[in-house]
Structure 1
Amino acid sequence: MKKLILTTIVLCFVATTMSAQIRFGIKAGTNLSNLYVSGNNQSINADQYKARVSYHFGGMMEYSLSDIFAIQPELMYTNGGANLKKENSFGMSDGHITLNSLQLPVNLKASFGLGDKKMFVYGGPYLSYNMYGKAKGKINGKTEDTEIFSKSSEMKRWDYGMGIGVGMEINKLVVSLNNQIGLADINGEEGSKMKSGNISLSIGYFF
Protein backbone atom coordinates (compact mmCIF):
# COMPACT_ATOMS: atom_id res chain seq x y z
CA MET A 1 0.00 0.00 0.00
CA LYS A 2 2.82 2.40 0.92
CA LYS A 3 4.58 1.62 -2.36
CA LEU A 4 1.36 2.33 -4.27
CA ILE A 5 0.92 5.69 -2.53
CA LEU A 6 4.57 6.63 -3.12
CA THR A 7 4.34 5.60 -6.78
CA THR A 8 1.17 7.67 -7.20
CA ILE A 9 2.84 10.75 -5.65
CA VAL A 10 5.89 10.38 -7.89
CA LEU A 11 3.74 9.97 -11.01
CA CYS A 12 1.67 13.03 -10.07
CA PHE A 13 4.84 15.05 -9.56
CA VAL A 14 6.28 13.94 -12.90
CA ALA A 15 3.01 14.66 -14.68
CA THR A 16 2.80 18.13 -13.12
CA THR A 17 6.39 18.90 -14.06
CA MET A 18 5.92 17.72 -17.62
CA SER A 19 2.68 19.66 -18.06
CA ALA A 20 4.14 22.86 -16.61
CA GLN A 21 5.35 25.47 -19.05
CA ILE A 22 8.44 27.54 -18.37
CA ARG A 23 9.04 30.84 -20.14
CA PHE A 24 11.94 33.25 -19.95
CA GLY A 25 11.91 36.95 -20.70
CA ILE A 26 13.46 40.36 -20.19
CA LYS A 27 12.02 43.59 -18.82
CA ALA A 28 13.03 47.19 -18.18
CA GLY A 29 11.38 50.40 -17.14
CA THR A 30 11.25 53.45 -14.95
CA ASN A 31 10.90 53.81 -11.16
CA LEU A 32 9.48 56.43 -8.85
CA SER A 33 11.49 55.64 -5.73
CA ASN A 34 11.59 57.20 -2.28
CA LEU A 35 12.88 56.74 1.28
CA TYR A 36 10.39 56.89 4.13
CA VAL A 37 11.61 57.97 7.57
CA SER A 38 9.97 57.67 10.98
CA GLY A 39 11.21 58.19 14.54
CA ASN A 40 12.47 60.94 16.80
CA ASN A 41 16.04 61.37 15.55
CA GLN A 42 16.42 65.10 14.92
CA SER A 43 19.10 64.59 12.24
CA ILE A 44 16.79 62.47 10.05
CA ASN A 45 13.19 63.36 9.22
CA ALA A 46 10.62 62.63 6.53
CA ASP A 47 10.75 66.16 5.07
CA GLN A 48 14.32 65.61 3.84
CA TYR A 49 13.41 63.08 1.14
CA LYS A 50 11.23 63.35 -1.96
CA ALA A 51 10.47 60.91 -4.77
CA ARG A 52 13.13 60.37 -7.42
CA VAL A 53 12.79 59.06 -11.00
CA SER A 54 15.15 56.16 -11.73
CA TYR A 55 15.27 52.89 -13.72
CA HIS A 56 15.45 49.10 -13.61
CA PHE A 57 16.21 46.19 -15.96
CA GLY A 58 16.71 42.44 -15.78
CA GLY A 59 15.32 39.00 -16.53
CA MET A 60 12.22 37.06 -15.56
CA MET A 61 10.98 33.49 -15.59
CA GLU A 62 7.42 32.20 -15.53
CA TYR A 63 6.64 28.72 -14.21
CA SER A 64 3.05 27.83 -15.09
CA LEU A 65 1.05 26.00 -12.40
CA SER A 66 -2.25 25.97 -14.30
CA ASP A 67 -4.13 27.90 -16.97
CA ILE A 68 -4.52 30.77 -14.48
CA PHE A 69 -1.75 30.63 -11.89
CA ALA A 70 2.02 30.86 -12.29
CA ILE A 71 5.13 31.57 -10.24
CA GLN A 72 7.24 34.41 -11.64
CA PRO A 73 10.69 35.00 -10.13
CA GLU A 74 12.82 37.86 -11.45
CA LEU A 75 16.39 39.07 -11.15
CA MET A 76 16.53 42.84 -11.49
CA TYR A 77 19.14 45.58 -11.35
CA THR A 78 17.38 48.52 -9.72
CA ASN A 79 18.47 52.12 -9.39
CA GLY A 80 16.54 53.68 -6.50
CA GLY A 81 16.93 56.17 -3.69
CA ALA A 82 15.41 59.62 -3.20
CA ASN A 83 15.92 63.32 -3.80
CA LEU A 84 17.22 65.52 -0.99
CA LYS A 85 15.30 68.70 -0.23
CA LYS A 86 16.66 69.55 3.20
CA GLU A 87 19.95 68.85 4.94
CA ASN A 88 20.18 65.19 5.86
CA SER A 89 22.37 63.15 8.20
CA PHE A 90 25.20 63.31 5.64
CA GLY A 91 25.13 67.12 5.94
CA MET A 92 23.85 67.48 2.37
CA SER A 93 20.95 69.30 0.76
CA ASP A 94 19.60 69.93 -2.76
CA GLY A 95 20.84 66.64 -4.18
CA HIS A 96 19.93 62.96 -4.26
CA ILE A 97 20.68 59.58 -2.74
CA THR A 98 21.30 56.74 -5.19
CA LEU A 99 20.91 53.09 -4.19
CA ASN A 100 21.98 50.52 -6.79
CA SER A 101 20.69 47.11 -5.85
CA LEU A 102 20.31 43.56 -7.10
CA GLN A 103 16.75 42.48 -6.44
CA LEU A 104 15.02 39.08 -6.40
CA PRO A 105 11.19 39.24 -6.39
CA VAL A 106 9.19 35.99 -6.36
CA ASN A 107 5.57 36.61 -7.36
CA LEU A 108 2.41 34.53 -7.55
CA LYS A 109 0.70 35.54 -10.79
CA ALA A 110 -2.92 35.10 -11.88
CA SER A 111 -3.75 35.66 -15.57
CA PHE A 112 -7.16 36.11 -17.17
CA GLY A 113 -7.99 36.18 -20.86
CA LEU A 114 -7.90 34.18 -24.05
CA GLY A 115 -5.16 33.42 -26.52
CA ASP A 116 -2.43 36.02 -26.81
CA LYS A 117 -4.30 38.74 -24.88
CA LYS A 118 -4.24 38.50 -21.09
CA MET A 119 -4.70 40.69 -18.04
CA PHE A 120 -2.86 39.66 -14.90
CA VAL A 121 -2.35 40.52 -11.24
CA TYR A 122 0.58 39.43 -9.12
CA GLY A 123 2.19 39.82 -5.74
CA GLY A 124 4.85 38.42 -3.49
CA PRO A 125 7.99 39.06 -1.45
CA TYR A 126 11.32 40.40 -2.65
CA LEU A 127 14.88 40.36 -1.34
CA SER A 128 17.30 43.12 -2.27
CA TYR A 129 21.03 43.72 -1.79
CA ASN A 130 22.32 47.27 -2.10
CA MET A 131 25.60 46.81 -3.97
CA TYR A 132 26.66 50.44 -3.81
CA GLY A 133 25.23 53.87 -3.29
CA LYS A 134 26.12 57.50 -2.89
CA ALA A 135 24.70 60.78 -1.68
CA LYS A 136 25.34 63.76 -3.94
CA GLY A 137 24.44 67.27 -2.88
CA LYS A 138 25.60 70.58 -1.49
CA ILE A 139 27.69 70.87 1.65
CA ASN A 140 28.38 74.47 2.66
CA GLY A 141 27.46 75.56 -0.86
CA LYS A 142 29.76 73.08 -2.62
CA THR A 143 28.59 69.98 -4.53
CA GLU A 144 30.14 66.81 -3.12
CA ASP A 145 29.71 63.01 -3.24
CA THR A 146 29.59 60.74 -0.21
CA GLU A 147 29.77 56.94 -0.27
CA ILE A 148 26.74 55.60 1.59
CA PHE A 149 28.03 52.14 2.45
CA SER A 150 31.45 53.20 3.72
CA LYS A 151 32.92 51.79 6.92
CA SER A 152 31.80 54.85 8.87
CA SER A 153 28.22 54.65 7.59
CA GLU A 154 25.48 52.81 9.45
CA MET A 155 23.32 52.23 6.37
CA LYS A 156 22.41 48.58 5.80
CA ARG A 157 22.86 46.76 2.50
CA TRP A 158 20.13 44.11 2.85
CA ASP A 159 16.52 45.05 2.21
CA TYR A 160 13.28 43.11 1.80
CA GLY A 161 9.60 43.79 1.34
CA MET A 162 6.39 42.99 -0.50
CA GLY A 163 5.21 43.90 -3.97
CA ILE A 164 1.90 43.92 -5.82
CA GLY A 165 1.12 44.73 -9.43
CA VAL A 166 -1.14 44.54 -12.45
CA GLY A 167 -0.41 44.23 -16.14
CA MET A 168 -1.30 43.13 -19.62
CA GLU A 169 0.31 40.71 -22.06
CA ILE A 170 -0.32 40.88 -25.81
CA ASN A 171 1.58 38.54 -28.15
CA LYS A 172 4.33 37.98 -25.55
CA LEU A 173 4.78 41.74 -25.03
CA VAL A 174 4.20 42.65 -21.37
CA VAL A 175 3.35 45.99 -19.76
CA SER A 176 3.07 46.10 -15.95
CA LEU A 177 2.68 48.52 -13.05
CA ASN A 178 4.17 47.49 -9.72
CA ASN A 179 4.26 48.89 -6.19
CA GLN A 180 6.95 47.71 -3.75
CA ILE A 181 6.86 48.45 -0.03
CA GLY A 182 10.09 47.99 1.89
CA LEU A 183 9.73 46.29 5.28
CA ALA A 184 13.35 46.38 6.44
CA ASP A 185 14.90 49.26 8.36
CA ILE A 186 17.94 50.13 6.24
CA ASN A 187 19.11 52.89 8.59
CA GLY A 188 21.40 51.84 11.42
CA GLU A 189 21.13 55.04 13.46
CA GLU A 190 19.23 54.91 16.74
CA GLY A 191 16.00 56.85 17.10
CA SER A 192 14.80 56.59 13.51
CA LYS A 193 13.80 54.07 10.87
CA MET A 194 14.26 54.32 7.12
CA LYS A 195 12.38 52.14 4.64
CA SER A 196 12.40 52.07 0.86
CA GLY A 197 9.46 52.39 -1.50
CA ASN A 198 9.19 52.01 -5.23
CA ILE A 199 6.51 52.35 -7.93
CA SER A 200 7.64 51.01 -11.30
CA LEU A 201 6.33 50.90 -14.86
CA SER A 202 7.86 48.10 -16.94
CA ILE A 203 7.87 46.82 -20.50
CA GLY A 204 8.96 43.23 -21.07
CA TYR A 205 8.99 40.40 -23.57
CA PHE A 206 8.73 36.62 -23.20
CA PHE A 207 10.76 34.56 -25.66
Structure 2
Amino acid sequence: MAAPLELLLQRHSVPSRQLGEPAPDEATLRELLGAAIRVPDHGKLVPFRLVRLAGEAKLRFGERLAELAIRKQPELSEAKREKERLRYTFAPLVIAVVARLDDTSKVPEIEQRLCAGNVAYNILLGASALGYGAQWLTGWAAYDPDVAAILGLAANEHVVAFVHLGTPQIEVPDRERPLLDELLGTWTP
Protein backbone atom coordinates (compact mmCIF):
# COMPACT_ATOMS: atom_id res chain seq x y z
CA MET A 1 0.00 0.00 0.00
CA ALA A 2 1.52 3.31 -1.07
CA ALA A 3 1.67 5.83 1.80
CA PRO A 4 0.65 8.82 -0.39
CA LEU A 5 -2.60 7.01 -1.25
CA GLU A 6 -3.32 5.94 2.32
CA LEU A 7 -6.08 8.54 2.76
CA LEU A 8 -7.96 7.23 -0.29
CA LEU A 9 -7.41 3.61 0.65
CA GLN A 10 -8.69 4.11 4.20
CA ARG A 11 -11.57 6.50 3.45
CA HIS A 12 -15.01 5.28 4.42
CA SER A 13 -18.29 6.82 5.39
CA VAL A 14 -19.28 7.04 9.03
CA PRO A 15 -23.07 6.67 9.48
CA SER A 16 -24.59 10.01 10.44
CA ARG A 17 -26.09 8.44 13.59
CA GLN A 18 -22.53 7.61 14.68
CA LEU A 19 -21.19 11.16 14.30
CA GLY A 20 -21.03 13.18 17.49
CA GLU A 21 -19.35 16.26 18.88
CA PRO A 22 -17.09 17.85 18.18
CA ALA A 23 -17.62 19.03 14.65
CA PRO A 24 -14.84 21.05 13.08
CA ASP A 25 -14.57 24.46 14.74
CA GLU A 26 -15.14 27.54 12.58
CA ALA A 27 -11.50 27.99 11.56
CA THR A 28 -11.08 24.30 10.72
CA LEU A 29 -14.39 24.23 8.86
CA ARG A 30 -13.40 27.22 6.76
CA GLU A 31 -10.07 25.56 5.96
CA LEU A 32 -11.84 22.30 5.07
CA LEU A 33 -14.45 23.98 2.86
CA GLY A 34 -11.86 26.24 1.27
CA ALA A 35 -9.92 23.15 0.24
CA ALA A 36 -13.09 21.29 -0.82
CA ILE A 37 -14.08 23.93 -3.37
CA ARG A 38 -10.81 23.46 -5.28
CA VAL A 39 -12.36 21.21 -7.90
CA PRO A 40 -12.15 20.80 -11.67
CA ASP A 41 -14.46 23.51 -13.03
CA HIS A 42 -14.76 23.62 -16.81
CA GLY A 43 -15.50 27.22 -17.80
CA LYS A 44 -14.80 28.55 -14.29
CA LEU A 45 -18.56 28.63 -13.67
CA VAL A 46 -18.38 27.80 -9.95
CA PRO A 47 -21.57 25.74 -10.38
CA PHE A 48 -22.01 25.09 -6.68
CA ARG A 49 -22.59 26.69 -3.32
CA LEU A 50 -22.82 25.48 0.27
CA VAL A 51 -25.55 25.78 2.90
CA ARG A 52 -24.67 25.14 6.55
CA LEU A 53 -27.17 23.42 8.87
CA ALA A 54 -26.03 23.62 12.47
CA GLY A 55 -27.44 23.78 15.98
CA GLU A 56 -31.14 24.44 16.36
CA ALA A 57 -31.47 25.04 12.61
CA LYS A 58 -30.97 21.31 11.95
CA LEU A 59 -33.96 20.43 14.12
CA ARG A 60 -36.10 23.18 12.57
CA PHE A 61 -35.15 21.95 9.10
CA GLY A 62 -36.12 18.40 10.07
CA GLU A 63 -39.43 19.60 11.48
CA ARG A 64 -40.20 21.40 8.22
CA LEU A 65 -39.32 18.27 6.27
CA ALA A 66 -41.51 16.12 8.51
CA GLU A 67 -44.45 18.52 7.96
CA LEU A 68 -43.84 18.38 4.23
CA ALA A 69 -43.59 14.58 4.21
CA ILE A 70 -46.89 14.31 6.10
CA ARG A 71 -48.59 16.65 3.63
CA LYS A 72 -47.33 14.53 0.75
CA GLN A 73 -48.08 11.21 2.50
CA PRO A 74 -50.76 11.65 5.19
CA GLU A 75 -50.63 7.91 5.94
CA LEU A 76 -46.96 8.17 6.97
CA SER A 77 -46.42 6.14 10.14
CA GLU A 78 -45.46 7.87 13.37
CA ALA A 79 -42.04 6.17 13.26
CA LYS A 80 -41.34 7.55 9.78
CA ARG A 81 -42.56 11.00 10.82
CA GLU A 82 -40.09 10.95 13.70
CA LYS A 83 -37.32 9.71 11.40
CA GLU A 84 -37.90 12.70 9.10
CA ARG A 85 -37.96 15.10 12.02
CA LEU A 86 -34.66 13.85 13.46
CA ARG A 87 -32.82 12.95 10.24
CA TYR A 88 -30.48 15.96 10.37
CA THR A 89 -29.91 16.09 14.14
CA PHE A 90 -27.43 13.25 14.71
CA ALA A 91 -24.23 14.72 13.29
CA PRO A 92 -23.32 18.08 14.82
CA LEU A 93 -22.99 19.71 11.40
CA VAL A 94 -24.55 19.20 7.98
CA ILE A 95 -23.38 20.93 4.82
CA ALA A 96 -25.79 20.94 1.90
CA VAL A 97 -23.83 20.99 -1.34
CA VAL A 98 -25.92 22.73 -3.96
CA ALA A 99 -25.41 22.57 -7.72
CA ARG A 100 -26.01 25.89 -9.52
CA LEU A 101 -26.60 25.00 -13.15
CA ASP A 102 -26.01 27.58 -15.87
CA ASP A 103 -28.11 26.50 -18.86
CA THR A 104 -26.71 29.34 -20.98
CA SER A 105 -23.17 27.97 -20.71
CA LYS A 106 -21.54 25.79 -23.34
CA VAL A 107 -20.38 23.58 -20.45
CA PRO A 108 -22.67 20.53 -20.40
CA GLU A 109 -25.00 20.25 -17.42
CA ILE A 110 -23.50 16.90 -16.42
CA GLU A 111 -20.07 18.53 -16.02
CA GLN A 112 -21.57 21.21 -13.80
CA ARG A 113 -23.28 18.57 -11.64
CA LEU A 114 -20.08 16.55 -11.41
CA CYS A 115 -18.21 19.66 -10.32
CA ALA A 116 -20.64 20.09 -7.40
CA GLY A 117 -20.35 16.38 -6.64
CA ASN A 118 -16.59 16.75 -6.46
CA VAL A 119 -17.04 19.44 -3.81
CA ALA A 120 -19.09 16.98 -1.74
CA TYR A 121 -16.48 14.28 -2.15
CA ASN A 122 -13.67 16.65 -1.26
CA ILE A 123 -15.52 17.45 1.98
CA LEU A 124 -15.57 13.71 2.76
CA LEU A 125 -11.87 13.34 1.99
CA GLY A 126 -10.92 16.50 3.86
CA ALA A 127 -12.93 15.51 6.92
CA SER A 128 -11.17 12.16 6.96
CA ALA A 129 -7.76 13.82 6.58
CA LEU A 130 -8.55 16.04 9.58
CA GLY A 131 -9.65 13.09 11.74
CA TYR A 132 -13.39 13.70 11.46
CA GLY A 133 -16.06 11.43 10.09
CA ALA A 134 -18.53 12.24 7.35
CA GLN A 135 -21.37 10.74 5.38
CA TRP A 136 -22.82 11.90 2.05
CA LEU A 137 -26.58 11.43 2.09
CA THR A 138 -29.35 12.50 -0.23
CA GLY A 139 -32.77 10.90 0.20
CA TRP A 140 -36.02 12.34 -1.05
CA ALA A 141 -35.28 15.79 0.40
CA ALA A 142 -32.38 16.33 -2.03
CA TYR A 143 -34.73 15.98 -5.01
CA ASP A 144 -37.89 17.67 -3.77
CA PRO A 145 -38.70 21.16 -5.11
CA ASP A 146 -40.53 22.08 -1.88
CA VAL A 147 -37.40 21.27 0.13
CA ALA A 148 -35.39 23.37 -2.31
CA ALA A 149 -37.76 26.23 -1.51
CA ILE A 150 -37.28 25.71 2.23
CA LEU A 151 -33.51 26.01 1.66
CA GLY A 152 -34.03 29.15 -0.44
CA LEU A 153 -32.65 27.60 -3.63
CA ALA A 154 -33.15 29.28 -6.99
CA ALA A 155 -34.87 27.53 -9.89
CA ASN A 156 -31.49 26.51 -11.36
CA GLU A 157 -30.23 25.03 -8.07
CA HIS A 158 -30.62 21.62 -6.46
CA VAL A 159 -29.02 19.68 -3.63
CA VAL A 160 -26.45 17.11 -4.69
CA ALA A 161 -25.47 16.09 -1.16
CA PHE A 162 -26.19 16.57 2.50
CA VAL A 163 -22.74 15.96 4.01
CA HIS A 164 -23.03 15.09 7.72
CA LEU A 165 -19.88 15.91 9.71
CA GLY A 166 -18.66 15.15 13.20
CA THR A 167 -16.41 12.94 15.27
CA PRO A 168 -16.86 9.19 14.81
CA GLN A 169 -18.36 7.60 17.92
CA ILE A 170 -17.51 4.07 16.76
CA GLU A 171 -14.81 2.34 14.76
CA VAL A 172 -16.43 1.73 11.38
CA PRO A 173 -15.37 -1.50 9.69
CA ASP A 174 -14.53 -1.29 6.02
CA ARG A 175 -16.97 -2.85 3.59
CA GLU A 176 -16.17 -5.20 0.76
CA ARG A 177 -14.84 -3.24 -2.20
CA PRO A 178 -15.03 -4.09 -5.91
CA LEU A 179 -12.04 -5.73 -7.54
CA LEU A 180 -10.13 -3.46 -9.90
CA ASP A 181 -9.54 -6.30 -12.36
CA GLU A 182 -13.31 -6.63 -12.80
CA LEU A 183 -13.65 -2.93 -13.60
CA LEU A 184 -10.58 -2.03 -15.65
CA GLY A 185 -10.51 -2.70 -19.34
CA THR A 186 -8.16 -1.63 -22.08
CA TRP A 187 -9.44 -0.23 -25.35
CA THR A 188 -7.72 -1.50 -28.42
CA PRO A 189 -8.38 -0.36 -32.01
- Normalised by the size of structure 1, how large is the TM-score? 0.24
Considering Cα pairs closer than 8 Å and 6+ residues apart, tell me whether 1 or 2 has the greater RCO. 2
Structure with the largest fraction of helix: 2
- Normalised by the size of structure 2, how large is the TM-score? 0.25
Structure with the largest fraction of strand: 1
Q: Which has the larger radius of gyration?
A: 1
